[in-house]
Amino acid sequence: MNALVVYSTKTKNTLKLAEALYEALRYTKELKSITDNPNPDDYDFIAVGYWVKDSKPDPATMEFLPKIRDGQQVFLFATHASARDSGPIRNAMKIAKELTSKGRIIGTFGCQGEVSPEMMEKLAAQDKKPEWFADAPAAKGHPDEQDIAELVHLINTICI
């Protein structure tokens, strides 16, 4: 089976997960940034990692997901500042699934990802803060070893 692990990252949080997932896969595999504009046609299994922006997958991922063709196995994974099962995260995963309507989704994973101190400082100075701002301090240090272990366990369970 040919596998592609493709990721979009702004702070390298999603990259950490993508690298761990890539190492765990036992398939013939490639790891590519979404900025490389990979062609998903040559793969049987595609793991797509993204960061969440405004309760949706980031723009590059939203453009990539509809390119997945009928029957390809898809695993979606995301990083975000919001609490793990919050509304914005459920919405982002729902949108990602809808955009991947031709593929066969075999699993999903999401975990918090640390927001840079500079961004936190900038947002703290604003009167109107994003919905996820209150959850962001708990994201410090994530994805951590436990998050990565959960992802690897899940992918090993799914991809036997």
Given a cut of 70, whether residue 160 has pLDDT beyond it is: no
Give the CATH number, domain containing residue 133. 3.40.50.360
Instruction: Show the domain range for 145.
Output: 2-158
Given a cut of 90, whether residue 85 has pLDDT beyond it is: no
Q: Specify the pTM.
A: 0.95
Structural domain count of the chain: 1
**21-40: pLDDT as tens digits:** 999 999 999 999 999 999 99
Binned at pLDDT 50, 70 and 90, residue 88 comes out as confident
Given a cut of 90, whether residue 1 has pLDDT beyond it is: no
DSSP string, 71-112: T-EEEEEEEESS-TT-HHHHHHHHHHHHHTTTSEEEEEEEEE
